[in-house]
Structure 1
Amino acid sequence: MSRYDRYVLSQYLLFFGFFALILVAVFWINRAVSLFDWLIGDGQSVLAFLEISALSLPNLVRMVLPLAAFAATVWVTNRLNSESELTVLRATGSSPWQLARPAMAFGVIGALMMSALSLFLLPASLAQMDLREAELARSVSAKLLKPGSFLHPTDGVTFFIGSIDDQGTLNNVFLNDQRSSDVEVTYTSDKAYLVRDGDEAHLILVDGLAQRQEIGSDRLSTTAFADFSQPLGAVSPVPADAPRPLRNIPTLDLLQDRDGITQADGHAAGAQAEELHLRFARATVTLAVVMIAVSTLMLGGFSRFGIWKQLLGAFCLLILIEGLRGVVSDPVLDNAAMWPIVYLPSALGLLIAVLFLHLASRPQAFSRQRFRRETAI
């Protein structure tokens, strides 16, 4: 690798880190607002908020990595062109293929980063995040221990706590149970304790009163008790044996045990093929967008008016590639044998880049065609 290649590659990596940091920060702040409202508002600690935020970072990086690579390529190539560095190098005999070598190396590095992220880090982080979110959703303290508010831990149950002391004792407890169609029961107690048995929450009432009213009549009976246990129902929104989402399944399992995944989690062969090859295709798309950016900007020579036409063209091609990625999934979902079309956006992008670099290496042809058009007019 020449000194020029090392210099330009270092610039690509520098601005890639800058743009990735900015984009991740923007997406993370948007995500953090909803996380903060859910976790902190439900009584969780700041540590739980930071943990869920950290587990969501790989997915955020996966979304912004191609955009950051594209932006870094456009920025550095445009700067080299505006400062006439590319013009000087081309005047000394360097071809567009030689000038694009740092971008190729940068695209390969970005593709390797995306491969590690998409194939290994992302499924593991998503699985762990879903597990932690389920645990937090099952947390009794997060769902029920909110003094001063009327809560509904399950259908037909209204729960109120006046205050909670330092030992965790619930004071001035009110519980209304309307889960039965025949009778409505209201419990009041000076003190109570909340315990959990698996996914079931139980309220232990001490020194209280139970008022029982039969539906459809005016009959009311009261019973004083020294202690009483009242089940509140399940507090877990997700069954323990729920099937794994496809995005959480490790890549090695998708490669080696598709039949087992279908039997255990119910995912069809087409859905598995689409998910597996999409993980590989993300890496090739990263390389494709980098090559599209550099090859499109190579089409234009030095101009005091800039290369805004090439910039607009590169951006339109990026939109085209991203749009194709959303189209090719449906046929694979219907027929797993159609998996090669998942790589169609990447292949198209690389073919366009090769074509543009080939045209950029023949500027005389453009000049002759433009001269002929002007002469004809």
Structure 2
Amino acid sequence: MCVPRFDRYLLSQLMTLFAFFALVLVAIYWINSAVRLFDQLISENQSSWVFLEYTALTLPNVIRNTLPMSVFAAAVYVTNRLSGDSELVVMQATGFSPWRLARPALIFGLITAVLMTVMTNFLVPASQQQIQRRNHEISQNVTARLLSEGSFLHPSAGVTFYIREIDEDGTLRDVFLSDRRTPGEPQTYTAARAYIINANDDPEGVPEPKMVMVDGLAQDFHAETGKLFTTHFQDFSYDIAGLVNASDYLGISLRTAPTWQMMTRPQQVADLTGDQIGRIVQEAHGRVTQALVCIVAALIGFAALQIGGFSRFGVWKQIVFAILLLVIVKFAEGVVTGPVRKDATLWPILYLPVLLGLAISCLLLWWAARPRRPRGQAQMTGSPA
């Protein structure tokens, strides 16, 4: 019963510290993204409920980015603490080799790899798809995008909109609208009052938002003739449904495409997304390698601290060495990404960084398990002077 009990003990330590580091890193990343998201949504006059919804939808992607770092930090911290308390030394004295001690770390890496697989293949694509859907719904809500008093808004390229004040009954005071979407023929509208209504001009019966401007001036400038035409009007109806182009928010993208579809039908996904096949194949296999990197991070974080002897200054050298090894693995990931994006048939090289990390871990464990001769004995067996 000693063997499985030790595995459960070490695995519980790893999972506890993993949860702690994951919580801290996710909170840091989430706060940074939430601040930018808050400024964007507030500028678009959205409610706090929309902000909470968006922040919840971004959490899977934040967790995906921080998961390998949390795994590595937990493995290093737990191994360092057990070494400092001489618990690993006691286990080695009972006959446990570094290979045997690494078994809980391997199980820990496999558990986190399963979590990463769920994140990259299911939760992240689903959350990104929901974000695109909500972006489309918000972009169609032209009224929410335009009703912001005292600031110049740019709902789309070439359009500037300004409202000095909004009354309690919804009346817009001192409205300015500049439409420069037609090259060489800019149009400018000013009105003392304006109202936003839903008109049923669509043959399908779908209401379209329109802005009725009252007591205003329309200015049309023709660049070819250099003439400015002005027209005073008592009331004028302007279609504001076309101010926001929502077509970019619809459709499939690399982040929302299913992994199985990108692997089995890359050409079909390329036709839907407009991306190259190499990028699609790299994204599909990249979701798999991200999960395998969790195993590598756990093993490197554990094995790197097994080398070297006891030192009064701690194991900071081994920790720095482990970080350097993990950086090398991540650097190898960046090196193999470019060729696969250019040539999709080279997708097997995407797994080379994972194999490199596993080879490094095995080499470190072999180095830690090799028999050591005591320093005093080495001096005694030296050649006589």
1:314 aligns with 2:322: yes
Amino acid paired to 2:83? N
**Is the contact between residue 136 and residue 249 of structure 2 (CA under 8 Å) also seen in structure 1?**
no
Aligned position for 1:336 = 344
Q: Deviations over 1:78-114 (max 9, x none)?
A: 0000111111111121111121111111011011111
Quote the Cα distance in structure 2 between the aligned partners of 1:370 and 1:141: 83
Larger mean Cα displacement after TM superposition, 177-186 or 243-252: 177-186
What secondary structure, in the 3-state scheme, does the structure 1 residue paired with 2:173 have? strand
1:238 Cα offset (Å): 4.7
1:330 Cα offset (Å): 1.1
Q: 1:84 aligns with which of 83, 86, 90?
A: 86
**Is the contact between residue 211 and residue 240 of structure 2 (CA under 8 Å) also seen in structure 1?**
yes
**Is the contact between residue 220 and residue 228 of structure 2 (CA under 8 Å) also seen in structure 1?**
yes
Identity of aligned residues (%): 41
Cα RMSD (Å) of the superposition?
A: 3.1
TM-score of the pair, normalised by structure 1: 0.88
Aligned position for 2:193 = 190
Amino acid paired to 1:188? A
Amino acid paired to 2:111? I
Aligned position for 2:105 = 103
| Count of aligned residue pairs for this structure pair | 375
| Structure 2 unaligned residues grouped into runs of 5+ | none
Aligned position for 1:279 = 287
**Is the contact between residue 176 and residue 188 of structure 2 (CA under 8 Å) also seen in structure 1?**
no
Aligned position for 1:73 = 75
Q: Deviations over 1:39-77 (max 9, x none)?
A: 123211111111111111111111110000000000000
Q: Deviations over 1:174-213 (max 9, x none)?
A: 44556664675533133422558889863122x4233456
Aligned position for 1:32 = 34
- Judging changes above 3 Å, is the alpha-carbon distance between structure 1 residues 257 and 192 closer, same or farther for their aligned structure 2 residues? same
Quote the Cα distance in structure 2 between the aligned partners of 1:376 and 1:269: 69
1:134 Cα offset (Å): 3.7
**Is the contact between residue 128 and residue 255 of structure 2 (CA under 8 Å) also seen in structure 1?**
yes
- Judging changes above 3 Å, is the alpha-carbon distance between structure 1 residues 194 and 363 closer, same or farther for their aligned structure 2 residues? farther
Aligned position for 1:209 = 216
Aligned position for 2:118 = 116
Aligned position for 2:334 = 326
| Structure 1 unaligned residues grouped into runs of 5+ | none
- Judging changes above 3 Å, is the alpha-carbon distance between structure 1 residues 47 and 217 closer, same or farther for their aligned structure 2 residues? same
Aligned position for 2:252 = 244
Quote the Cα distance in structure 1 between the aligned partners of 2:325 and 2:380: 28
Larger mean Cα displacement after TM superposition, 207-216 or 167-176: 207-216
- Judging changes above 3 Å, is the alpha-carbon distance between structure 1 residues 151 and 315 closer, same or farther for their aligned structure 2 residues? closer
Amino acid paired to 1:324? A
- Judging changes above 3 Å, is the alpha-carbon distance between structure 1 residues 79 and 203 closer, same or farther for their aligned structure 2 residues? same
- Judging changes above 3 Å, is the alpha-carbon distance between structure 1 residues 295 and 214 closer, same or farther for their aligned structure 2 residues? closer
Quote the Cα distance in structure 2 between the aligned partners of 1:241 and 1:74: 42
1:12 aligns with 2:14: yes
**Is the contact between residue 43 and residue 141 of structure 1 (CA under 8 Å) also seen in structure 2?**
no
Larger mean Cα displacement after TM superposition, 252-261 or 82-91: 252-261
Quote the Cα distance in structure 2 between the aligned partners of 1:7 and 1:333: 44
**Is the contact between residue 170 and residue 195 of structure 2 (CA under 8 Å) also seen in structure 1?**
no
- Judging changes above 3 Å, is the alpha-carbon distance between structure 1 residues 153 and 355 closer, same or farther for their aligned structure 2 residues? closer
Quote the Cα distance in structure 1 between the aligned partners of 2:327 and 2:42: 38
1:298 aligns with 2:306: yes
Quote the Cα distance in structure 2 between the aligned partners of 1:214 and 1:237: 24
**Is the contact between residue 263 and residue 281 of structure 2 (CA under 8 Å) also seen in structure 1?**
no
Larger mean Cα displacement after TM superposition, 191-200 or 28-37: 191-200
